[in-house]
Structure 1
Amino acid sequence: MSTRIGADEVVGTDEDPAVEAARRPGRLRRQEKWAALALLLPATLGFLVFYIYPALRGAWFSLTDYDLLSDPEFTGMDNVRTLVADPQVWQSLRITAVFSLASIAVTMVLALGLAALMQRLRLGPGTRALLLLPWLVPNVAIALIWSWLLDANVGFLKNLLEQIGIPGFTFYNAEAALTILVLISTWAGLGYTALLLYAGMLQVPHDLYEAAALDGATEAGMFWRITIPLIRPVLALVVVVSLIGSFQVFDLVQVGYGNNPIPEVRVIYYYIYQQAFNFYRMGYASTIALLLLLILATLTFVQLRLMRANRSDLA
């Protein structure tokens, strides 16, 4: 309502409560939008500066002969032709693929069993925290510890294994080197992977297990027909993250072998490092890095589609 003096002068107004209530959600949404932008800005700037810009610069270097000592000169597709004809690239990729498949397979099998055990036993937070300890140890420290334990001369674990009939289990044994890297990687990531899977298992309604048990289902049957299908998105996440991490293995090789690895464990990441900082072929190293990016992007896309990671049976 308004009170008028004369024909047009307004001396007071009362806002309609319905109009005010309709405007309030719009103002809240605008405030939340600006708050969200302010919170995302630091992370976005960091992503642009430390990820996008180096990636674009690396893509440019892949088209040049940059050697870290002089200005880069454009060479077109010369680095690509060199890569295709370089047998060491494909050998390094083969070694990395074997390491990745073996470490993911072993870790996933053990982690699923450990997560199922935690789900059944209802272990306390202290026990679960202990599982994270190997994952919290820096990779450099892990490489140093295991290189000492498996040292050819004074390695305690190496000597212990010899006493039980397993000789030659050292870093520089060509036949055992890749197996050792797989086991060390499994030891370091097992607890973290198991906890991720355990968190997914906690989302499965307990009523499903009770109903299956009443119908006579066994523990193994419930695990394969209830647990595994219902944690598929978590499984997809764990597999993709593990795949990317395993293809980027570097610390164990660089530190464990004292910058002098044997050919049997020269993974692709270490080969890129050699080309860039040992042989000063930054342009060529950038080309190999782009190849690795394409491989990981393709494998990730295929895995997510095959595992239907965007759909959950719990929905």
Structure 2
Amino acid sequence: MSAVTQAKPLFKTVRRHNAEGGQGWAALLFLAPTLLGFAAFYIYPSVRGVWLSFTDWNLLSEPEFVGLGNYAELAGDPLFWRSLLLTGYNTVLNLAGQLSLALLVAALMHRLTKSVVLRATLLLPWLVPNVATALLWLWLLDANLGFVNQLLDAMGLPTHGFFNSPGEAMPSIAAVTTWASVGYVALLLYAGMLQIPEQVYEAAAMDGAGEVRTFFRITLPLLRPVLALVLVVSVIGCFQIFDTIAVTTKGGPINATKVIYYYIYQEAFTHFRMGYAAAMALTLVLIMGALTYLQMRLMRASNSDLG
């Protein structure tokens, strides 16, 4: 075999490596704007937030390093722990309402109708900005002039101060956020149900299984990876609730709805304690990371029974 013939595979390999290298540089060039934006708006603020959590900064003077002072104060702050408990309470209320209603709606769509118009209608409340949704329900549930209380009064039923009562304020907030999100969650679950083979349902029908038994024995177990995703996203969204609180109750009455995000906002931009607010935010990130990890592990989100 000649030397020229032996060299041809080598030349092909070199050209292929050069082509791959050129494509890599081209890909990096196209990704550069996104990477720069990610570094400027995510990485840098995150690193700076970690640094500020160890300082006593009031926005007006230079940050003063205080070490673990903010975290020591945080550990003994009853309002911080109360706000965490209120956030957890809101999360439980939302998950109970969202998942139960969304599973019911998704199952009905999957078994009875696959109307595109119905799916688009379900998504409309989720597309409305949260501030507009909160204002709408603030007017509807107003203690004096709200349509809901007017309707209750016309029916001879007692009226309610939905956002003014310490016992009713948080359930009312949870009901508003559930109304806004249940359609979106239902569509996610419905998309997961579409991945379940029809042969499974046909076999269950041949065995005499009814709709309720089929749902709990087939649909729900096979929907586990999608349920894990929905659960993680819903928990994160519930912990991030802010705009609905800011528009309706502003943390009241008597701190009955002062969730963790609103407390962080008040400490940062009302009391100008940016260092303390950064410490609370970083603690919340660690808590959310631990919760997400536990949820993914306990629900075995990476494994599907359809495989």
Q: Normalising to structure 2: TM-score of the pair?
A: 0.92
Deviations 1:23-81 (A, max 9, x none): 78756655654454344333332222212211111111110000111110000111111
Q: Select between 128-137 and 154-163 the one with higher mean Cα deviation.
A: 154-163
Paired residue for 1:160?
Answer: 151
Question: SS of 2:302's equivalent?
Answer: coil
Over the matched positions of the two proteins, sequence identity in percent amounts to: 52
1:230 Cα shift? 1.5
> Are positions 1:101 and 2:87 aligned together?
no
- 1:20: how far off? 8.1
1:223 aligned onto 2:218: no
How far the C-alpha of 1:232 sits from its partner, in A, is: 1.2
1:68 partner letter: L
* Residue of structure 2 equivalent to 1:299: 291
Residue pair 1:233, 1:312 contacting (<8 A) in 2 also:
yes
Partner residue of 2:263 out of 264, 271, 284:
271
Instruction: Tell me the equivalent position of 1:47.
Output: 38
Distance 1:268 1:162, change over 3 A: farther
Superposition pairs for residues 21-100 of structure 1, below 5 Å? 29-30=20-21, 33-100=24-91
Larger radius of gyration: 1
**d(CA) in 1 for partners of 2:227 and 2:251?**
36
Give yes or no for the alignment of 1:199 onto 2:191: yes
Q: Do the aligned partners of 2:142 and 2:161 also contact (CA within 8 Å) in 1?
A: no
Q: How does 1:101-120 map to 2 (within 5 A)?
A: 101-120=92-111
Asked if 1:141 is matched to 2:132, the reply is yes
Distance 2:256 2:294 in 1: 28
- Which runs of 5 or more residues in structure 2 are unaligned? none
Q: 1:186 aligns with which of 159, 178, 185?
A: 178
Aligned pair in 2 of structure 1 residues 166, 283: CA closer, same or farther (>3 Å)?
Answer: same
1:95 aligns to what SS in structure 2?
helix
Alpha-carbon contact 2:193-2:223 (below 8 Å) kept: yes
Partner of 1:250: 242
- The amino acid of 2:116's aligned partner reads P
SS in 1 for 2:150: helix
In structure 2, what residue type is equivalent to 1:143?
A
Paired residue secondary structure (1:265)? coil
Rounded Cα–Cα distance in structure 2 between residues aligned with 1:36 and 1:312: 33
Taking only aligned residues, the RMSD between alpha carbons, in angstroms, comes to 2.4
Equivalents in 2 of 1:314, 1:40: separation in Å? 35
Contact 1:254–1:261 (CA under 8 A) maintained in structure 2 = no
- 2: CA distance between counterparts of 1:250 and 1:129? 26
* 8 Å CA contact retained: 1:162, 1:168: no
Structure 1 residue 163: Cα displacement: 3.5
Residue 206 of structure 1: how far off its partner (Å): 0.7
Q: Tell whether the 8 Å contact from 1:161 to 1:169 is kept in structure 2 after alignment.
A: no
Name the CA shift for 1:314/1:33 in 2 (closer, same or farther; >3 Å). farther
SS at match of 2:56: coil
| Cα separation, 2, equivalents of 1:232 and 1:68 | 47
Distance 1:314 1:87, change over 3 A: same
1:212 aligns with 2:182: no
- Which residue in 2 is equivalent to 1:5? none
Structure 2: distance between partners of 1:227 and 1:19: 55
SS where residue 264 of structure 1 aligns?
coil
Are residues 23 and 191 of structure 1, via their aligned partners in 2, closer, same or farther at CA, if it must alter by over 3 Å? farther
C-alpha distance in 1, partners of 2:18/2:304? 35
Q: Measure the CA separation in 1 of the matches of 2:111 and 2:126.
A: 23
Structure 2 SS opposite 1:112: helix
Counterparts of 2:198 and 2:10 in 1: how far apart (Å)? Answer: 47
Q: 2-side partners of 1:283 and 1:276: how far apart? A: 8
**Alpha-carbon distance between aligned partners in 2 of 1:201 and 1:28, rounded to the nearest angstrom:** 43
Q: Output the CA distance in 2 between the equivalents of 1:160 and 1:166.
A: 10
Per-residue CA deviation, residues 273-307 of structure 1 (Å, 9 max, x unaligned), is 00001101000011111111111001000000000
Distance 2:266 2:301 in 1: 36
User: Could you say if the C-alpha distance between residues 36 and 308 of structure 1 is closer, same or farther in structure 2, counting changes exceeding 3 Å?
Assistant: farther
